[in-house]
Structure 1
């Protein structure tokens, strides 16, 4: 099997959107997907791009059962750690199930690590579902440290209406 890892292009939006939905379904969270192809286009290819995405692409004769030639992706964006400096954050790594175990996920992470070094990042960070032991074993094998269990850090977020309420308080 052959594949290439490359930065995505506007023409890839439809297939990547389908993979995002597949990933969400795998995580039993399809109902939480709010992103649209139009939002992805603006945020990735607009005047102020906020993230990058690498894709894994196979030749047409090796396409997936669903007919896709894009069989994996890795979203990433710059962040900052006040203790260490620049950080590249990997938002999502997904490989179509029938293409797992063929080195595609590792190849995507290799390329993202190269981007991190090119941007002088001191770390590559990401999250993984605690129940996904296969993913955690994969990341650990690559040298990842689970900071939740080791350092007792918790990932938190403030969503929707609560963000608006906080912003309103800043306006007063």
Structure 2
């Protein structure tokens, strides 16, 4: 039962969307997913793509995914990788799929000359936090995420 990692293809968009919905359920936001297969296909396979995705497979069956994109650090003068989503199906947790996805992404970061590989995790998600600590991730506790969406975004842009 070997885990393998491969780049996603357009045919994976249905699977990726299913994983996104399962992740939203796990993160207690089952109704928050607005994306559909066409939106994912456009984001992942447009020129240039907005994001990239990897698929973890065990015995040829998709058991997880990682969706990521590049950011940029003015302090390092280099781009980085931001992991938007990492998900492994409950049945495949503990199989090494999550660690394989993270290791593959770390390799991509090194191959592309990135200075950083980072992501966010919900503060109540102790299993994920413990897993991230086990692979050497460090919390950035002095930073908080800020977000503007919906009507606030429209107002900030001076369009509403």
| TM category, shorter | over 0.9
TM-score, with structure 1 as normaliser: 0.87
Q: Give distance in 1, aligned partners of 2:112 and 2:2.
A: 29
1:83 paired to 2:51: no
Q: Give distance in 2, aligned partners of 1:57 and 1:101.
A: 14
Residue-by-residue CA offset, 1:49-79 (whole Å, 9 max, x unaligned): 011100112335xxxxxxxx21100111000
In the TM superposition, residue 46 of structure 1 has moved relative to its aligned partner by 1.3
Q: Give distance in 2, aligned partners of 1:39 and 1:121.
A: 27
Structure of greater Rg: 1
The aligned residue for residue 37 of structure 1 is 37
Runs of 4 or more above 6 Å deviation: none
- SS of structure 1 residue aligned to 2:158: helix
> Equivalences for 1:6-25 in 2 at 5 Å?
6-25=6-25
How many corresponding residue pairs? 158
- SS of structure 1 residue aligned to 2:11: helix
TM-score, with structure 2 as normaliser: 0.94
Gaps (5+ residues) in structure 1? 61-68
The aligned residue for residue 64 of structure 2 is 72
